[in-house]
Amino acid sequence: MAKVGFIGLGIMGRPMLGNLLKAGHEVVAYGINAAKLDACVTDGAQRGTSNRDVAARSEVVFTMLPDGPEVEQAVLGEDGVLAGARAGTLVVDMSSINPLVSQKIGAACAEKQVEFVDAPVSGGEPKAVEGTLAIMVGGSDAAFHRAEPLLKAMGSKVTLTGPIGAGNVTKLANQIMVACNIAAMGEALSLSTRCGLDPQVVLNAVKGGLAGSTVLDAKGPMLIGRNFKPGFKVRLHEKDLRNALLTAEANHVALPLTSLVQQMLLSLLSEGKGDLDHSAIATVLEKLSNVTIERPS
């Protein structure tokens, strides 16, 4: 069993840390919220006093933070992970961030002989609790093989997709398809509903064919039932598409649909709807055409 650190104790981090504990690992926890740190100590973690302290006491350090700036601060900042890490420490960033930031952090780690992988997850809170996340990893083969058994305590599918940054590129590819598939469903059902059809009947008619998707199965009923309880929040998907567009810009890749759907997410933020489920992307299309995708009463 390994001696590991865990930084970032939010909705995702706490259950992920819990699954490391359940697998028998010794975990030192740290997060800026004292109450959340207390909760993790109650769960069985040791109390860390800073990011640096966590790193000094661990062979492998996990970070699970909101976005790239927070990860940069936690790893590279004053009293950060790199200040406490020894040569040979492995840092595993499980946050969903801009892959360019992963590469920057990976380079800074390499200068101190610290190993780094980016390992963002998909599946949300329920799968974090169950330990069945999908985990997409970017890094060297050696670092991946070192991280893999620990990651398997948190996820059911752990895939090495390339060098450092590749985990986040894969996550962005995933988020592009999810967001665009939701928007496409919004357009298809806006048109159908305006033409007088029952959107549930349309869904049932098409879902077994080439239009079928996990989005249609998982998000179609939420949309038609007007249930936007997250799930995965609009503001997080907006962050992911923003990071996709930043990565695309740096690499001279044009993403016309993605940029359009990111604007739809911004429109939702402008209405204070950042905490709705991302299926609310379809409501921007409804609003554009003054239609509501619901069953006829």
Closest to a copy of itself by CB, 45 vs 234, is 234
Closest to a copy of itself by CB, 167 vs 274, is 167
Question: Annotated catalytic, 229?
Answer: no
Asked if 269 interacts with a copy of itself (CB under 8 A), we say: no
Both structure tokens of 248: 């695309």
114-133: which residues touch a copy of itself (CB under 8 A)? 122-123
The distance of closest approach from Cβ of residue 5 to a copy of itself in the complex, given in angstroms and rounded to an integer, is: 26
Asked if 247 interacts with a copy of itself (CB under 8 A), we say: yes
Asked if 178 interacts with a copy of itself (CB under 8 A), we say: yes
Selection from 126, 131, 138, 217 nearest residue 173 by Cα: 138
Cα separation, 48 vs 1, in Å, equals 19
The distance of closest approach from Cβ of residue 23 to a copy of itself in the complex, given in angstroms and rounded to an integer, is: 22
The CA-based dihedral angle spanning residues 64, 67, 68, 70, taken in that order and rounded to the nearest 10 degrees: -70
Q: Does an H or E element contain 124, and which?
A: helix 124-130
DSSP state for residue 225 in the 8-state scheme: T
Stretch that binds a copy of itself, among 11-19, 23-31, 72-80, 209-217 (CB under 8 A): 209-217
68-87: which residues touch a copy of itself (CB under 8 A)? none
Closest to a copy of itself by CB, 48 vs 138, is 138
Pairing of strands 133-138, 121-122: antiparallel
- Total Cβ atoms within 10 A of residue 197: 14
Asked if 188 interacts with a copy of itself (CB under 8 A), we say: yes
Cα separation, 125 vs 133, in Å, equals 9
The distance of closest approach from Cβ of residue 265 to a copy of itself in the complex, given in angstroms and rounded to an integer, is: 14
Closest to a copy of itself by CB, 51 vs 258, is 258
Q: Phi and psi of 6, rounded to 5°? A: -140, 120
11-40: which residues touch a copy of itself (CB under 8 A)? none
Q: Which of 3, 112, 127, 171 is catalytic?
A: 171
Using CB under 8 A, count the residues that bind a copy of itself.
Answer: 71
Is 140 in contact with 83 (CB distance < 8 Å)? no
Asked if 61 interacts with a copy of itself (CB under 8 A), we say: no
Asked if 230 interacts with a copy of itself (CB under 8 A), we say: no
CA 231, 223, 240, 207 torsion-angle sign: positive
Q: Which residues are catalytic?
A: 171
